[in-house]
Amino acid sequence: MAPLTYVSTRGAAPELGFSDVLLAGLAIDGGLYVPSEWPSLTVGSLERFASMSYAEIAVEVMWPFVEGSFDHDTFEAIVSDAYATFATEEVVPLVDLGDNFWLAELFHGPTLAFKDIALQLVGRLFDDELTRRGEKVTIVGATSGDTGSAAIEALRDRPTAEVFILHPAGRVSDVQRRQMTTVLAPNVHNIAVEGTFDDCQDMVKALFADKNFRESRNLSAVNSINWARVMAQMVYYVTSAVRLGGGAGRPVAFSVPTGNFGNVFAGYGAQRMGTPISQFIVASNRNDILTQFLTTGTMTIGEVQPTLSPSMDIQVSSNLERLLFEIHGRDGAAIAELMDRFRSEGTVSVDSDRLDLLSEHWAASRVDDAQTAATISGLYEQTGMLIDPHTAVGLAAARAARTDPSVPMVVLATAHPAKFPDGVEAATGVRPPLPEHLSDLFDRPEKFDVCPNDFETVRGAIEATLDHG
């Protein structure tokens, strides 16, 4: 079989192989790359997975996507190395909550949020590919908290990348800031911008729009629209389903705390490959544009509202475009038109027969901060377990939107409670301690530059660092 290729959701970019998609991120027509077809897990493979480790299953699930770009032994070694950084042998343990509710703990990676699962792999794939090409890139990213630290941990000390992460000064939590600024690797550069997250993001966009800067500095990104991140996230849907009887064809449901839609779209991919998933619950906080879309077919951008679950405080969910592409029969021109209209008018609707394609498997639920806090405290009183506010949104949504109690409901636990200790403490009176490997986080020295909220100054600081180290 010829290696899989990738097409853009807007239909007007060249079809590429995996390694080019990995390094490109966004397609040149503004679309997102998706596989030209969905491979199937061979008959019997789900059954076989029951006795395999996370890394072994990961290699089998992802191999059809990377074949042709990596040789099998190299890929196997990279996967095994990526998941050896996790604090538990299972990588993503399942915890029984009773009543056929389960938590899939995605937070045992180095920075305590689920982004590590994709980025620990993607950082290594980047490094391997760039080494083979003899190239070096400048990675620039903006973060409101979780992505920055996960990207830094994934790329620290790699000679193929200089990493610049912009965060809004004083607007990320102390744990989040220290997870970034205490990494003293020579290729890691933190910039605290005296502005908001949106200011940081605008600066990153402006750097990419600056053709001269982009080309002379070989600019690249590892943001959530990168296909390789979605690919890596498909694996835990498969492993969780298999552990709950999926190998014998028993269906499983997932509730997913959702922001940019990358996580839940990975679940869709796992389902398309043959994993028996009967329901996806898209869990939103007060920023409920996705709940509106899935229940009415219309999306309208509003103001971002701060909540207890900041990593889901998003209005435009970039990865939704991948699902829209699927429900429009992979018509790239239709998606290009739809996204243009959304951008210019701030609102867009899809036909009801398109939306009907989602009615069988998709549900959505909105959870406000009061319900989030009550869910954290309720679970703590019942079981003694602490969960973080993002996970609590997922659990509350699962309870509200579950259709069949005989189907195991897996709630994706996207962050460790110690990553968001204030919300957890306010709900329960208990401050969750950091795990062992981060217990001295508050004693470690920090290194970062503070920059005024001014594009030229920030670009100048990056250039000076690149030129003089």
Ligand X SMILES: *Cc1c(COP(=O)(O)O)cnc(C)c1O
The contact set with ligand X (CB under 6 A) reads 113, 115, 146, 224, 257-263, 311-312, 390, 414-415
Catalytic position from the list 115, 205, 419, 447: 115
Which residue, among 286, 241, 292, 262, has the nearest Cα to 414 in the 3D structure? 262
> CB of 50: closest distance to ligand X in angstroms?
27
Secondary-structure breakdown of the chain: helix, strand, coil percentages, each rounded to the nearest 5:
50, 15, 35
> CB of 144: closest distance to ligand X in angstroms?
9
> What are the E-state strand segments in 219-272?
219-220, 252-257
d(CA 146, CA 10): 29
Structural contact between residues 178 and 442, judged by C-beta atoms closer than 8 angstroms: yes
d(CA 415, CA 149): 13
> CB of 90: closest distance to ligand X in angstroms?
19
> CB of 288: closest distance to ligand X in angstroms?
13
Kindly tell me which of 168 and 247 has the beta carbon lying closer to ligand X.
Answer: 168
Compute φ and ψ for 70, nearest 5 degrees: -130, 150
> CB of 235: closest distance to ligand X in angstroms?
14
Kindly tell me which of 316 and 334 has the beta carbon lying closer to ligand X.
Answer: 316
d(CA 252, CA 348): 32
Residue with tokens 């997870």: 179
Kindly tell me which of 92 and 451 has the beta carbon lying closer to ligand X.
Answer: 92
Structure tokens at 109: 């990676």
Kindly tell me which of 311 and 375 has the beta carbon lying closer to ligand X.
Answer: 311
Kindly tell me which of 217 and 229 has the beta carbon lying closer to ligand X.
Answer: 229
Kindly tell me which of 167 and 217 has the beta carbon lying closer to ligand X.
Answer: 167
Q: Is 211 a catalytic residue?
A: no
Residue 168: helix, strand or coil by DSSP?
Answer: strand
Going from the C-alpha of 288 to that of each of 163, 244, 284, 469, the distances in angstroms are: 32, 30, 5, 43
> CB of 415: closest distance to ligand X in angstroms?
4
Kindly report the three-state secondary structure assignment for every residue of 387-423. Answer: CCHHHHHHHHHHHHHCCCCCCCEEEEECECHHHCHHH
Residue 425: its H or E element: helix 421-428
Distance between alpha carbon 245 and the CA centroid of its chain, in Å?
26
> CB of 311: closest distance to ligand X in angstroms?
3
Write the CB contacts of 211 (distance below 8 Å, at least 6 apart in sequence). none
Residue 362: helix, strand or coil by DSSP?
Answer: strand
Buried residues in 118-133 as b, exposed as e (16+ CB within 10 A)? bbbbbbbbbbbbbeee
Kindly tell me which of 247 and 310 has the beta carbon lying closer to ligand X.
Answer: 310
DSSP character at residue 286: S
> CB of 116: closest distance to ligand X in angstroms?
10
213: how many CB neighbours lie within 10 A of its CB? Answer: 17
Structural contact between residues 146 and 188, judged by C-beta atoms closer than 8 angstroms: no
Kindly tell me which of 149 and 428 has the beta carbon lying closer to ligand X.
Answer: 149
Catalytic residues: 115
